[in-house]
Structure 1
C-alpha cells in the first residue's frame, strides 16, 4: 500500500469546477444529427438525406454503448463497497494514512466520479484517494515521454504526451474549468516547445508538465509494485486457469497457432512484464513451448511499437519521430522487459545518438 501524494495533484479542484460547469458539457453526435433532422423537416426545401461517414457511425455506436454518468456513479459506488468487503475494511484509508484498497481496476471515468463526489455519494477520503489515483495515472502517462525528453532535450515529446492524455478524458471531465485550464496551459507549452524544442517552456500558469518535470527532471521510470517472482507466480496461475477451462471444454491449451486441435493460449490480458517473466523463466515455472510463445508475443508487441513510431515519422515528415518513439518505448519498459526484449543500455545509447545525428542533419538542411 502506498500513501497519496497530493503535492502536484492536477485534479484537486475538479469537484467544485465540475459542479459549476456540468451544464456546459459537449453535445453528442446524436444530438447534432437530431438537430439537423429537425431543421430539415421544418424546411420543405431542405435536403432530407443525411449521409454519415464510417467514423461518424462508429462514434454513434460507441456513444450508444456508453452508460450515462448517473449509471457510472452508481456502479462505482457499488464497486467501491465490494472492494471494502473483500479487503475487510470500512474505508479507503487506514489509521496510518495509507490506502487500504487498490483502485487500479476502476477506469478513468469512474475515478472522476469519485474525485468530484458525483451525486454526493463519496466521502472526502474516497475523493482524495481517487484524486491521487488520477494523478498517478497522469504521471504514468508522462513518465516514458519525460524520460525520452531527458535523453534528447526535446520538450515537445513530453508536452505531446500530456495533450494526448488530457484529450482522452470523458465528456464530463472535459466539461470542467479545471480540465480546460490544464489543456490550455499544456497546449501553450507544446506550441512553445515546437518553436524551441531544446528549451523547457516556462512561465506558463498552471502547467502540470512543468510541475512534473520539477519533481522528476530525469523522467521518473514506470514503477512496479510487485516483485518479479510474484509476477511469475501470478502469470503461472493465469495460464493454469486457461488450461483448466480448456480441459472443461474437452480440449487442451495449446501454444502453437498451427495446431489444428486445442484452444490457443490467449495472451491479450497478460501484460508485457508478465510475458517477460515467462520468457526469462527465472523461477523455472514454465515449459519450453510456453517460453517460445510468450517470446513471440512480446516480440510482436515490440515490433508493433516500432512500426507505430515509424508510421508517425512518415506521416509527420519528421525522421526524428522514430528515435523518439523507440526511446519512449524503452523508458516505459521494466528492467525485465528490456532484458527479455534484448533492449540494452547500449541499444538505448545508439538510438539517442541516432536522434542527435538526424536532428543535426535536419538543422543543417533547414539552415538553422
Structure 2
C-alpha cells in the first residue's frame, strides 16, 4: 500500500489478519483434523427437493462447454427429474405456488427455459425460469444497494449491475433486451463516476432504476427459516458421508466447498444441535476464509485503482450480502459496519480534496 492509502485505512490494525489470509488456505481435511476428533457426525433426516450434486455438475458443465442445444436438452431432463422427485406434473401447483426449486440451475440453463429454446418448455416453465432470472439480478444488486443506502454512493450499485450483465452467456448477450439494458447501465456507470452521490434518472431501459423503485433498501434476500436451512445442510452432509462409504472412502472428509454461506452459518451456530463440534468448527473456518477472500479482493481493488474508498465499499458490500445468521457466526457487528461507513466517508472527503473538488 502507498503512504496515502495507509493513512486512509482504519483497518490497518487488522493488517496482520489480512496478510495471513494471503497464505495458502487450509483444506477442510486439515481443519477437521485440527479440531476435536472425539465427535462423529450427527444425523438428522431432511429432504431438500433440488438437483443432486451430479445433476448440478452436469448443468454447470453444459453451461461452460456445451452448445446451446445440449444445454437445452439437459435443462429439459433436469426439469423432468425434479417433477419426478416431487411427484408433480409441472412447476406450478393448483394453488398457484411453485412446486420445484430452480436455484440449482445455472444462468444459461434458465435462459434456455425462459426463452423456450427449441420449443421444449411450457409457458409455466418459462414464467418460473424468468422469475428465477429476475431474482438472480436482484440478488446481484441487493448488497450494493444496501451499501449505497449507508454511504450515499451509487457507483458500486451500477458497477454490480454491469458486472452481472457482462457475465451473461453469448446467447443472452445476443438479445435486444440485454443490449438495451447494458447500454442503459453503462450510462449509469458514467453518470455515477461524475457524481456518485445521486442515483441517475431518465435513462431509458435502466434496470437499476427499476430495481431501486421496488427495493430501495437492498440487502440480503434470505427468507428461509434458519432451522430449515440447518436440516437441509445436515441432509447434504449425511448424503456425502453415505456416498463416501459406498465408494469405500469412509475416512473421506466432508466437502464444504459447494455449501452456501448461510448454510455454513447454520452449521457454525448449531442452534438445533444437529452438528458435531468438528463440523461447526470446520464450517466457521470455511466461512471466515470466504470473508477474508472478499476483503482481500476489496483491498486489491483499492490498491489497483488508487481509490481507498474501494476497501470500505467492498467490506460493506460483503456485510450487506450477509444474513443475520452469517453476521452472528463471524461476529460482524453493527459497530464494525459503522466503522466501515465512517472510513468510507473520511476517505471520500480526502479524495475529493485531492481532486480539488
> Which TM-score applies when normalising by structure 1?
0.77
1:103/1:307 Cα in 2 relative to 1: closer, same or farther (>3 Å)?
Answer: same
1:272 deviates by: 1.3
Given that residues 142 and 221 in structure 2 are in contact (C-alpha distance below 8 angstroms), is that contact kept between their aligned partners in structure 1?
A: no
- Aligned twin of 1:141: 140
Given that residues 142 and 220 in structure 2 are in contact (C-alpha distance below 8 angstroms), is that contact kept between their aligned partners in structure 1?
A: yes
In structure 2, C-alpha distance between the alignment counterparts of 1:209 and 1:65, rounded to whole Å: 27
1:248 deviates by: 4.4
Helix, strand or coil at the partner of 1:264: coil
- Aligned twin of 1:14: none
- Aligned twin of 2:326: 337
- Deviations 1:85-125 (Å, cap 9, x if unpaired)? 22222222223322222111211111111111111122222
- Deviations 1:199-240 (Å, cap 9, x if unpaired)? 110110010000001111122x32224211122222223333
1:63 deviates by: 11
1:163 aligns with 2:162: yes
- Aligned twin of 1:48: none
| Partner of residue 230 from structure 2, selected from 206, 229, 232 | 232
Structure 1: where are the runs of 5+ without partners? Answer: 1-61, 253-261
Given that residues 62 and 71 in structure 2 are in contact (C-alpha distance below 8 angstroms), is that contact kept between their aligned partners in structure 1?
A: no
- Aligned twin of 2:296: 307
1:204 aligns with 2:193: no
1:358 aligns with 2:347: yes
- Aligned twin of 2:268: 279
1:346 aligns with 2:345: no
1:64 deviates by: 11
In structure 2, C-alpha distance between the alignment counterparts of 1:151 and 1:134, rounded to whole Å: 27
Helix, strand or coil at the partner of 1:263: coil
- Deviations 1:13-37 (Å, cap 9, x if unpaired)? xxxxxxxxxxxxxxxxxxxxxxxxx
- Aligned twin of 2:239: 241
1:365/1:178 Cα in 2 relative to 1: closer, same or farther (>3 Å)?
Answer: same
1:314 deviates by: 0.8
1:179 deviates by: 0.6
Structure 2: where are the runs of 5+ without partners? Answer: 1-60
- Aligned twin of 1:127: 126
**Root-mean-square deviation (Å):** 1.9
* Structure having the higher Rg: 1
In structure 2, C-alpha distance between the alignment counterparts of 1:240 and 1:102, rounded to whole Å: 21
Given that residues 63 and 108 in structure 2 are in contact (C-alpha distance below 8 angstroms), is that contact kept between their aligned partners in structure 1?
A: no
Given that residues 227 and 272 in structure 2 are in contact (C-alpha distance below 8 angstroms), is that contact kept between their aligned partners in structure 1?
A: yes
In structure 1, C-alpha distance between the alignment counterparts of 2:330 and 2:320, rounded to whole Å: 13
1:251 deviates by: 5.6
In structure 2, C-alpha distance between the alignment counterparts of 1:293 and 1:363, rounded to whole Å: 44
Given that residues 63 and 106 in structure 2 are in contact (C-alpha distance below 8 angstroms), is that contact kept between their aligned partners in structure 1?
A: no
- Aligned twin of 1:116: 115
1:92 aligns with 2:91: yes
- Deviations 1:39-87 (Å, cap 9, x if unpaired)? xxxxxxxxxxxxxxxxxxxxxxx99961111111122122222222222
In structure 2, C-alpha distance between the alignment counterparts of 1:345 and 1:224, rounded to whole Å: 18
Question: 1:162-201 residue pairs with structure 2 within 5 A?
Answer: 162-201=161-200
1:288 deviates by: 2.1
In structure 1, C-alpha distance between the alignment counterparts of 2:178 and 2:193, rounded to whole Å: 22
In structure 1, C-alpha distance between the alignment counterparts of 2:93 and 2:242, rounded to whole Å: 38
Given that residues 111 and 129 in structure 2 are in contact (C-alpha distance below 8 angstroms), is that contact kept between their aligned partners in structure 1?
A: yes
Count how many residue pairs are aligned between Structure 1 and Structure 2: 297
